[in-house]
Amino acid sequence: ISKRSFFFSCFSRFSSSMSSNIDPVSLTLGLGLGMVLMASIRRLSTAEKAGLCNPGIMKDQPKVATMAKVKDVEDLLKEKPAVAYCRCWRSKTFPFCDGSHAKFNEASGDNTGPLVFK
């Protein structure tokens, strides 16, 4: 017997044997209230977990895609031993890392860090 058939056979047995004892208005109100409560809890818990990945960099753009030419990175590497690009979206020097991920990681429990070229 399939899961679907089993579910419907159990439901039909329940509905036929218990239908005289269940008030349809109470059942409808209970199910409706339960669904609203469940949706509210889910929305609150999702909002807390998700947050915004990008809190404020180039928000006037529909999508932020940062591009760097290999030549530009090579030129920067001639000046300093490493070049770090931000991946937490909180750097004041975006697209370069300024260490903001440390504070973000402590607050969020995340473990993000920069993309480093050497």
SS3 10: helix
| 9 and 42 fall within a common domain | yes
Residue 99 structural domain: 70-117
pTM score over 0.95: no
Q: Is residue 77 part of a domain?
A: yes
| 41 and 77 fall within a common domain | no
Q: Is residue 84 part of a domain?
A: yes
| 44 and 8 fall within a common domain | yes
Q: Is residue 78 part of a domain?
A: yes
The active-site residue out of 3, 49, 63, 80 is 63
pLDDT at position 7 = 58
Contact call for residues 35 and 28 (beta carbons, < 8 A): no
Cis, bond preceding 114 (omega within 30 deg of 0): no
Q: Is residue 62 part of a domain?
A: no
Q: Half-sphere exposure of residue 107, counting CA atoms within 13 Å on the CB side?
A: 9
Give residues with Cβ within 8 angstroms of 55, minimum separation 6.
Answer: 89, 90
DSSP 77: H
Q: Is residue 88 part of a domain?
A: yes
Q: pLDDT in tens for each of the 118 residues of the chain?
A: 565 566 556 556 555 555 567 778 888 888 889 898 888 777 766 545 556 788 889 999 999 999 999 999 999 999 999 999 999 999 999 999 999 999 989 988 889 999 999 9
| The total number of structural domains that make up the chain | 2
pLDDT at position 11 = 58
CA nearest 104: which of 90, 84, 85?
90
| 43 and 74 fall within a common domain | no
Q: Is residue 58 part of a domain?
A: no
pLDDT at position 96 = 96
pLDDT at position 53 = 83
Q: Is residue 61 part of a domain?
A: no
Q: Is residue 110 part of a domain?
A: yes
Residue 79 CB neighbours (<10 A): 7
| 74 and 113 fall within a common domain | yes
Is 63 considered catalytic here? Answer: yes
